[in-house]
């Protein structure tokens, strides 16, 4: 599993949608190209080490037996129409991506649950 900033997911989806619209992508091969362009844009937003090796890190995270491009092309074969959201959802599953919220909302939610009496009560 690889953890990436949740805000990056929106950048990725938006860039993929732009690429699909610009080139009229409608085949698995074209969708793979759109995802790779989106990943390039996303990599620019990441720290240097993770950004430079993003595709390699995604391949390792998903323990892929073939290249990310080949794996995605196979996965996209079942799609009738690909949107950025659809393609990223498949990418999430293939590469086991965990999108983390960098604002700490998970800790806030945890504190809220505990303060509302949801913690274990002793009798």
123 is a domain residue: no
pLDDT number for residue 104: 52
> Do residues 118 and 24 touch, judged by C-beta distance below 8 A?
no
CB atoms within 10 A of CB 94: 18
Q: Per the domain annotation, does 18 fall within a domain?
A: yes
pLDDT in tens, 54-80: 999 999 999 999 999 999 999 999 998
- Cα–Cα distances in Å, from 35 out to 48, 115, 116, 119? 20, 42, 42, 42
Quote the domain boundaries for residue 11.
2-118
pTM, rounded to two decimals: 0.78
Structural domain total, the chain: 1
Q: For residue 30, is it within any domain?
A: yes
Query: How far from each other are the two terminal CA atoms of the chain, in whole angstroms?
Result: 40
Band (18; pLDDT cuts 50, 70, 90):
very high
């Amino acid at each position: 599993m690889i953890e990436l900033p949740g805000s990056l997911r929106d950048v990725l989806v938006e860039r993929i949608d732009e690429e699909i619209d610009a080139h009229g992508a409608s085949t698995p091969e074209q969708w793979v190209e759109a995802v790779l362009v989106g990943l390039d844009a996303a990599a620019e937003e990441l720290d240097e080490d993770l950004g430079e090796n993003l595709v390699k890190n995604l391949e390792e995270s998903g323990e892929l037996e073939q290249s990310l491009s080949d794996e995605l092309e196979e996965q996209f074969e079942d799609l009738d129409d690909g949107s950025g959201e659809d393609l990223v959802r498949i990418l999430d599953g293939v590469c086991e991506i965990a999108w983390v919220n960098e604002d700490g909302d998970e800790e806030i939610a945890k504190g809220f649950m505990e303060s509302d009496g949801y913690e274990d009560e002793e009798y």
